C-alpha cells in the first residue's frame, strides 16, 4: 500500500422515498480507503453495502455528504462526467455478471475500450492481457451464454480490468459461484492486490473473513458502519 | 439531395480555407467586404432624398414649405407636383402631412382622432399663400389635382362655399368626381 | 361574438400557450427559490434537493422552449388561416394589422425565440460542466425570458380578442406596396444596391464565421437579417409570386406557393438565431470558439440559394427578369 488516499467518504447519507415514507439506507458513513487497500463491506442483505458501492461508483447520487475519488468530489458529478470517471478509473464486477449473453468473451471484454479512442492493435493487446489475467483466454471466442458460472465471473473480471482501472468494485462477486470457483476468484483478487489495485468488495460470504492477504473488514448494520 | 450537395461543397470549402494561403487571404477579404458594405450604404444615403410623406417636429403647427415633386399625398399616394391648392394638416404632436387636393385631405382626416384639433393650411389659388383652410372659401367647379373641384380662396367671391359646406359635400360625394354633379355643374 | 377568437386554430394556439405558460410559471417559482439558496459547495440534504429540483426545472424549461418554436410556426399558420374571416385580408399580413397588437406581438415572438435559443446554448454548456458553472447565468436569463413571455401571453389574448371580423383590413398590396416615388427600402437603397448589400453581407457572414471574428459576425448577422427581410419582400418574393407588384412576406406561406415561406423564413431565422446565440454565449461564457458554425453556414446558405434559385429559375425559363 502506498498510503495515498484513493476513496474518501464524508458524512454520507442515502435516503429513499417510498410511498410517502422516508427509508434511510445509509446513515452518516465516514470512511477513508487508501490506494492499494482491499476493503470488504460485510453485512447481511439490506445493510446498505450495494448502495454504498453504487455511490462510490457514481452510479447513484447521495442525499447528503461527499464521495471523493483521488480528491475529486464525485457525488454531484453529472452523468456525462461520472461515466467518464467510471471508464477511466473504476472497474465493476457484479453479482449476476451482467455480460452480453449473445456476444463472445472477447467481444464482452472489448466493449469498454470502444469509446476510448485507442487503435485497434492496442485494444487487442489490452483485451488479451485482461483475458490472461483472468485466466479465460482459452474461451475468448465462446459466446457468453455457453459459459459456466465461474467462467462468466472470470469474463466479468477481465472486462473490469481491461481499461486498467485503479479501483475495482465487486458487488457480491461469489453469490452465484460454487466454493471452488469462489476460491479461484479470491486467487485473482490476491493477484490484483499485488498489482496495488484498490479493491472494494460488498459481500456476506464467510469465505472473505480470513483472506491470506491484507484486508480491512468494514462491518455494516442498518446502513451504518459498526 | 440539396443538403448533400451543400454538405460536399462545404467540406470542399473547409479544405480550401484551412490552407495557409487562405488564412492570410481571409482577413483581407473581410476588410474588402466591409468596405464594400459601407460604400453601398453611404452611396445610397448620399443620393437625392426620396419623397417623404410626413414631416415631424412641427410643434408650432405652422405652414411648412412644400417640397414639390418630393412629397407624397398619404391618401391618394400621388406625388404632389404643384403648390397650388395643396393642403397641409398639422397634428397637435407636430406631425405634418401634405395633400394635393382638399378633397383627399377631407377623406383622410375623417378617421383621425386629432381631426378637430389639427391645424389645416391650404395654399390659396387667389393670393397664392398658405392660409387657414377652415377660414378659406371654396369654389365648387375648379380644376383641382384629384378633380374634386374645390379650389381654395382667401377672399370670398360669389359662388364659393365655406369649409364646413365643402367638407359636407365631399363626404356626400357631391363633387366633380361624381359624374352627375360634373354634368350638372360643367354640362359635361 | 369574435369569430376569430373561436376558430379552431386560435383555440388550440391559446390553449397551447396557456399550458406552456403554466409550466413556465412553476419553473419560474422553483428557479427563484433555488437561486436564492443555491450553494454548490455545500453537501447538505437541502443543497442536494435544490440540485435535483434545478435538474427537473431545466428539463421542464427545455421541453417548453422547444415547443415554443413549434407554437410560433403554428401562430403564423393560424393567422394565415384567419385571412378568410377578415374582409380585405388576403394573407396573414392583413390579419396581423387587424389591430394595434399584431405587429408588436409578432416582433416580440421573434425576439423571444432568439432569447430561447440563447438559453438553450447556455443550458448546453452548463450541463457539460462538473460544477454547474453557469447555473446562475442560465437562471437569470430564464427569469428575463419569463417576463417577456408574460407580456407575450397578455398580448396573445389582447390580439385575438380584439380582432373585429366586420372591420376591413388592408391587404398586403396596400401594406407593402410602394408609394408613388417613395422608397420603402432602408438607407435609401435601390433594389440593385439592396441585392449587392444582401450578397456582400452573406459573404461577410461566411468569412467571419470561418475566421472567428465574433463581434463582426454578430453585427453582420443582425444587419443581414434586416436587409434579407427587405430583399425577400421587395425582390425575391416577386419571383416566388412571379408578379412584380406582389410584395408580401406572408403570402409565400400559403399552399399555392408550396409553403416555401416556411423553409425560407425558417432557414433565415434559425440560421441567424443559432449563430447569434452561439456567438453571444461564447462571448458571455468565455468560450474559445463557436460550436455551430457548420449548421449556421448550411442554414443561411439554404436561404440564400433558395432565394437565388427562384430568380435564376425564372430567368432560365423566361429569358428575362421581372
ipTM, interface predicted TM-score of the complex: 0.81
CA–CA gap between residue A212 and residue C240 (Å, rounded): 85
Which chain C residue has its CA at the smallest distance from A75's CA? C43
Q: Which of B27, B36, B52 sits opposite C211 (nearest CB)?
A: B27
Q: Does C222 touch chain B (CB under 8 A)?
A: no
pLDDT tens profile C5-60:
788 999 999 999 999 999 999 999 999 999 999 999 999 999 999 999 999 999 99
* Confidence (pLDDT) at B71: 87
Which of B6, B44, B69 minimises the CB distance to C302?
A: B6
- Chain CA centroid to CA A182, Å: 16
C-alpha cell at C140: 437569470
* Per-residue model confidence (pLDDT) at position C180: 46
* Angstrom distance (rounded) from CA A180 to CA A80: 39
Residue C173 confidence (pLDDT) above 90: no
Question: What are the helix (H) ranges across chain C?
Answer: 8-37, 45-82, 92-96, 101-126, 135-161, 172-176, 191-211, 214-231, 237-241, 260-285, 293-318
User: Which of residues 31 through 50 in chain C touch A, CB cutoff 8 A?
Assistant: 40, 43-45, 48
| CB-CB contact of A220 with A42 (8 Å) | yes
Does the structure show a pLDDT above 60 at C178?
Answer: no
How far apart (Å, rounded) are the C-alpha atoms in residues C145 and B49?
41
pLDDT at B2: 66
C169 pLDDT tier (thresholds 50, 70, 90): confident
* Residue pair C125/C287 in contact by the 8 Å Cβ criterion: yes
pLDDT at B48 over 60: no
Q: Check if A124 contacts C (Cβ < 8 Å).
A: no
Residue B23 in this model has a pLDDT that exceeds 90: no
Tell me the shortest Cα–Cα distance from C210 to chain B, in angstroms: 8
pLDDT at C150: 97
CA distance B52 to chain C (A): 7
Place of cell 447556455: C122
C-alpha to C-alpha distance for A169 and A192, rounded to whole angstroms: 12
Shortest Cα–Cα distance, C29 to chain B (Å): 43
> Which residues of chain A are within 8 Å of residue C128 when distances are taken between CB atoms?
78, 80
Mean per-residue pLDDT, B86-108: 92
Tell me what pLDDT residue B106 has: 94
Q: Which chains touch A (3 or more CB pairs under 8 A)?
A: C
The lowest-confidence range among A125-134, A151-160, A173-182 is A173-182
For C40, which residue in chain A has the nearest alpha carbon?
A76
Give me the residues of B, 69-88, that contact C with CB < 8 A: 69-70, 72, 77-79
Looking at the predicted structure, is the pLDDT value of residue C240 above 90? Answer: yes
Q: Which residue of C has its CA nearest to B18?
A: C210
Q: Is the pLDDT of residue C312 over 70?
A: yes
Helix (H) or strand (E) holding A13: strand A5-18
pLDDT > 70: percent of chain B: 92
Average pLDDT over every residue of C157-162 = 92
Residue B41 C-alpha, separation from nearest chain C C-alpha, in angstroms: 6
The pLDDT of residue B18 is 65
Chain B residues whose CB is inside 8 A of the C180 CB are 72, 77-79
The SS3 assignment for A22 reads strand
- Can you tell me the mean pLDDT for A129-156? 92
Q: List all residues of chain A from 36 to 95 with a beta carbon under 8 Å from chain C.
A: 61-66, 75-78, 80-81
Q: What is the DSSP letter of C256?
A: G
Using the Cβ of B29 and the Cβ atoms of chain C, whether some distance falls under 8 Å is answered with yes
Most C CBs within 10 Å, among A55, A61, A76, A79, to test the C interface? A76
Inter-chain CB proximity A63 and C45 less than 8 Å:
yes
Q: Taking CB atoms and an 8 Å limit, are B6 and C197 in contact across chains?
A: no
Q: Name every chain C residue with its beta carbon within 8 A of the beta carbon of A61.
A: 48
For position A120, what pLDDT does the model report? 92
Q: How far apart are CA C98 and CA B132, in angstroms?
A: 35
Of C48, C127, C129, the CB nearest to A63: C48
Compute the mean pLDDT over every residue in chain A, rounded to the nearest whole number.
91
Closest CA–CA distance from residue C84 to any residue of chain B (Å): 25
The tens digit of pLDDT for each residue in A4-56 reads 899 999 999 999 988 888 889 999 999 999 999 999 999 888 889 999 999 99
The domain segmentation of chain C, as residue ranges, is 8-161, 177-318
Query: Which residues are CB-neighbours of B19 under 8 A, at least 6 positions away?
Result: none
**Of residues A212 and C64, more confidently modeled:** C64
Task: Give which of C152, C10, C2 is closest to C78, Cα–Cα.
Answer: C10
State whether A80 and C127 contact (CB < 8 Å).
Answer: yes
In chain B, what residues touch C211 (CB-CB under 8 Å)? 23, 26-27, 30
Contact: chain A with chain C (3+ CB pairs below 8 Å): yes
Task: Give dist(CA C235, CA C213) in Å, integer.
Answer: 30
* Residue A149 in this model has a pLDDT that exceeds 80: yes
Does pTM top 0.80 for this prediction?
Answer: no
Nearest CA distance, C230 vs chain B (angstrom) = 14
pLDDT, tens only, B131-150? 999 999 999 999 998 889 99
Chain C residues with CB-CB distance to B51 below 8 A: 179, 181-183
Instruction: Please answer whether residues C272 and C224 qualify as being in contact, where contact means their C-beta atoms are separated by less than 8 angstroms.
Output: yes
Tell me which chains share at least 3 CB pairs under 8 Å with chain B.
C
Dihedral sign of CA atoms C271, C273, C276, C280 in order = negative
- CB–CB of B171/B106 below 8 Å? yes
Q: Collect all residues of chain C within an 8 Å Cβ-Cβ radius of residue A13.
A: 45
Strand A72-73 with A90-93, pairing: unpaired
Confidence of residue A1 (pLDDT cuts 50, 70, 90): very low
What domains appear along chain A, each with residue ranges and CATH number?
Answer: 38-60+77-220 (3.40.50.300)
Band (pLDDT 50/70/90 cuts) for residue B26 is: confident
Chain C touching partners, 3 or more CB pairs below 8 A: A, B
**What is the distance in angstroms between the Cα of A220 and the nearest Cα belonging to chain C?**
22
State which residue of chain C sits closest to A62, comparing Cα positions. C48
3-state helix vs strand vs coil in chain B, percent to 5 = 40, 15, 45
Judging contact as 3 or more Cβ pairs under 8 Å, the answer for B and C is: yes
Sequence ranges of the domains in chain B: 2-46, 54-186
> Is the pLDDT at C174 greater than 70, yes or no?
no
Interface probe with A: pick from C43, C48, C55, C135, most Cβ of A within 10 Å? C43
| pLDDT for residue B1 | 63
Q: Which residues of B touch C169 (CB under 8 A)?
A: none
- How large is the average pLDDT for residues A109-119? 91
CA proximity to C91, closest of C169, C4, C3, C34: C169
Summarize pLDDT for C250-270 with one digit per residue, the tens. Answer: 889 988 899 999 999 999 999
The arithmetic mean of pLDDT across residues A114-131, rounded, is: 92
Residue C315, pLDDT > 50, answer yes
Q: What is the mean pLDDT of residues A204-217?
A: 87
Kindly report, residue by residue over C46-78, the tens digit of the pLDDT: 999 999 999 999 999 999 999 999 999 999 999
Mean pLDDT of B145-164: 93
Higher-pLDDT residue of A217, C97: A217
pLDDT in tens, C185-217: 888 888 899 999 999 999 999 999 888 889 999
Taking an 8 Å cut-off on Cβ atoms, the answer to whether B51 and C179 are in contact is: yes
CA–CA min distance B126, chain C (Å): 29
- Residues C215-220 have a mean pLDDT of 94
Nearest to A67 by CA among A3, A5, A112: A5
* Rounded distance between C-alpha atoms, residue A181 and residue C39, angstroms: 49
Of C170, C184, C206, nearest to C98 by C-alpha is C170
- Which among C43, C45, C127 has the least Cβ separation from residue A78? C127
Residue of C43, C45, C130 with shortest CB distance to A81: C130
Enumerate residues 152 to 181 of chain C having a beta carbon within 8 A of any beta carbon in chain B.
179-181
Confidence bin at B181 (pLDDT 50/70/90): confident
Amino acid at each position: 500500500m502506498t498510503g495515498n488516499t484513493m476513496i474518501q467518504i464524508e458524512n454520507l447519507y442515502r435516503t429513499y422515498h417510498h410511498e410517502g415514507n422516508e427509508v434511510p439506507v445509509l446513515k452518516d458513513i465516514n470512511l477513508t480507503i487508501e490506494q492499494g487497500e482491499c476493503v470488504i463491506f460485510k453485512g447481511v442483505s439490506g445493510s446498505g453495502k450495494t448502495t454504498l458501492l453504487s455511490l462510490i461508483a457514481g452510479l447513484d447520487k447521495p442525499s447528503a455528504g461527499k464521495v471523493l475519488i483521488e480528491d475529486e468530489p464525485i457525488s454531484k458529478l453529472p452523468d456525462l462526467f461520472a461515466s467518464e470517471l467510471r471508464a477511466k478509473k473504476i472497474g465493476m464486477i457484479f453479482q449476476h455478471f451482467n455480460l452480453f449473453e449473445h456476444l463472445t468473451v472477447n467481444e464482452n471484454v472489448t466493449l469498454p475500450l470502444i469509446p476510448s479512442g485507442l487503435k485497434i492493435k492496442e485494444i487487442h493487446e489490452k483485451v488479451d492481457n485482461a483475458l490472461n489475467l483472468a485466466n479465460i483466454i482459452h474461451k475468448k471466442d465462446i459466446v457468453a451464454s455457453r459459459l459456466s458460472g465461474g467462467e462468466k465471473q472470470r469474463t466479468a473480471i477481465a472486462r473490469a480490468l481491461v481499461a486498467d482501472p485503479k479501483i475495482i468494485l465487486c458487488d457480491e462477486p461469489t453469490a452465484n459461484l460454487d466454493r471452488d470457483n469462489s476460491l479461484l476468484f479470491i486467487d485473482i483478487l490476491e493477484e490484483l492486490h499485488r498489482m496495488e489495485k484498490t479493491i472494494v468488495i460488498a459481500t456476506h460470504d464467510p469465505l472473505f473473513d480470513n483472506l491470506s492477504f491484507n484486508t480491512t473488514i468494514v462491518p455494516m448494520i442498518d446502513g451504518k458502519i459498526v | 439531395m440539396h443538403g448533400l450537395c451543400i454538405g460536399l461543397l462545404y467540406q470542399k470549402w473547409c479544405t480550401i480555407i484551412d490552407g495557409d494561403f487562405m488564412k492570410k487571404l481571409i482577413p483581407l477579404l473581410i476588410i474588402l467586404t466591409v468596405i464594400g458594405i459601407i460604400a453601398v450604404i453611404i452611396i445610397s444615403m448620399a443620393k437625392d432624398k426620396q419623397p417623404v410623406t410626413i414631416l415631424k417636429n412641427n410643434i408650432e403647427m405652422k405652414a411648412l414649405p412644400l417640397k414639390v415633386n418630393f412629397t407624397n399625398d398619404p391618401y391618394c399616394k400621388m406625388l404632389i407636383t404643384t403648390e397650388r391648392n395643396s393642403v397641409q394638416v398639422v397634428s397637435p404632436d407636430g406631425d405634418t402631412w401634405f395633400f394635393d387636393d382638399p378633397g383627399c385631405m377631407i377623406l383622410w382626416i375623417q378617421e383621425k382622432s386629432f381631426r378637430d384639433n389639427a391645424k389645416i393650411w391650404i395654399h390659396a389659388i387667389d393670393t397664392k399663400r398658405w392660409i387657414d383652410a377652415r377660414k378659406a372659401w371654396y369654389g365648387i367647379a375648379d380644376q383641382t389635382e384629384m378633380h374634386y373641384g374645390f379650389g381654395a380662396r382667401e377672399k370670398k367671391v360669389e359662388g364659393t362655399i365655406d369649409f364646413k359646406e365643402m367638407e359636407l359635400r365631399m363626404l356626400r360625394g357631391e363633387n366633380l368626381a361624381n359624374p352627375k354633379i360634373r354634368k350638372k355643374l360643367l354640362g359635361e | 361574438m369574435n369569430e376569430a377568437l373561436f376558430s379552431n386554430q386560435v383555440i388550440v394556439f391559446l390553449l397551447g400557450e396557456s399550458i406552456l405558460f403554466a409550466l413556465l410559471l412553476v419553473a419560474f417559482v422553483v428557479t427563484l427559490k433555488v437561486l436564492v439558496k443555491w450553494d454548490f459547495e455545500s453537501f447538505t440534504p437541502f443543497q442536494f434537493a435544490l440540485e435535483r429540483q434545478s435538474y427537473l426545472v431545466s428539463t421542464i424549461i427545455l421541453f417548453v422552449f422547444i415547443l415554443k418554436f413549434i407554437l410560433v410556426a403554428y401562430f403564423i399558420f393560424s393567422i394565415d388561416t384567419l385571412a378568410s374571416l377578415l374582409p380585405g385580408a388576403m394573407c396573414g399580413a392583413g390579419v396581423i394589422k387587424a389591430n394595434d397588437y399584431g405587429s408588436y406581438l409578432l416582433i416580440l415572438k421573434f425576439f423571444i425565440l432568439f432569447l430561447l435559443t440563447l438559453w438553450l446554448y447556455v443550458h448546453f454548456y452548463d450541463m457539460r460542466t462538473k460544477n454547474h458553472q453557469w447555473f446562475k447565468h442560465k437562471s437569470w436569463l430564464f427569469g428575463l425570458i419569463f417576463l417577456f413571455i408574460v407580456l407575450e401571453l397578455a398580448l396573445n389574448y389582447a390580439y385575438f380578442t380584439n380582432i373585429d371580423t366586420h372591420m376591413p383590413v388592408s391587404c398586403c398590396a396596400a401594406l407593402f406596396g410602394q408609394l408613388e416615388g417613395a422608397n420603402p427600402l432602408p438607407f435609401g437603397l435601390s433594389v440593385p444596391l439592396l441585392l449587392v448589400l444582401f450578397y456582400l453581407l452573406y459573404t461577410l457572414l461566411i468569412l467571419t464565421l470561418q475566421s472567428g471574428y465574433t463581434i463582426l459576425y454578430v453585427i453582420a448577422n443582425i444587419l443581414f437579417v434586416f436587409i434579407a427581410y427587405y430583399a425577400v419582400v421587395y425582390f425575391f418574393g416577386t419571383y416566388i409570386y412571379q408578379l412584380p407588384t406582389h410584395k408580401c412576406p406572408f403570402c409565400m406561406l400559403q399552399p399555392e406557393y408550396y409553403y416555401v415561406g416556411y423553409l425560407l423564413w425558417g432557414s433565415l431565422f434559425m440560421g441567424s438565431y443559432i449563430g447569434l446565440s452561439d456567438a453571444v454565449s461564447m462571448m458571455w461564457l468565455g468560450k474559445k470558439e463557436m460550436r455551430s458554425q457548420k449548421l449556421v453556414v448550411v442554414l443561411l446558405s439554404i436561404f440564400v440559394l433558395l432565394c437565388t434559385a427562384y430568380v435564376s429559375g425564372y430567368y432560365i425559363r423566361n429569358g428575362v427578369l421581372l
